[in-house]
Amino acid sequence: MKKLSFVILSSIALFSACQPKVDIEKEKAAIQDVIRQEVNAFITKDMDKFVSFYVQDESNTRLQQSCSVEYPIITGWINVKSFLEPMMNRFGTEVTNVKNSKEDFIIKVKGDCAWVVNKDVWSYEDNGKPVQGTAIQTTFMEKIDGNWKISLLSHFSRGQSSDESKDTTAIKR
């Protein structure tokens, strides 16, 4: 019985030792890169690149709150894409000089899944009028075929402002 226990424990130890170690910091950097590339593809209206950052299935979900009383929950990739496409196409017509930064990342990686919270800072001109906005973005991601993809994105904005008001969106650690 002792030999059997030794063999089982040795096998478990050997199996555990053979598992590749995940470099969490490397994964976090890759996740931030995907989030930044996704918004850059949105700004440049590169739809092919933009959609490549998303899980394209029926469970993909977008929670969006901005300057309205409505809090839509869009589910299913076809619906999410249909929701985002008109917003993307608006950029570059009456909306110009678009800039975005993603800041203050909080990321948890667990296997092939991760969740991310970050500040989302926008500035642009709408018909020549400067506009600034800050939001909080929460993103759930899946690693598919070695690439991080967005499976849920939640975007909550305080609204647009043309004022130079103080930014009170803060990550408290």
Instruction: Indicate the domain borders of the chain.
Output: 22-160
pLDDT at 158 over 70: no
Rounded CA separation 102/122 (Å)? 9
Is 46 in contact with 163 (CB distance < 8 Å)? no
Which residues, in sequence order, are CB contacts of 132 under 8 Å at separation 6+? 121, 122, 123, 160, 161, 162
75 contacts: CB under 8 Å, gap ≥ 6? 58, 59, 60, 61, 62
Kind and range of the H or E run holding 111:
none
Total Cβ atoms within 10 A of residue 53:
19
The mean pLDDT value for 126-146 works out to 94
The predicted model scores a pTM of 0.79
81-135 tens-digit pLDDT: 998 888 888 766 788 899 999 999 999 999 999 999 999 999 999 888 999 989 9
Host H or E run for residue 20 = none
Class of the 22-160 domain?
A: alpha beta
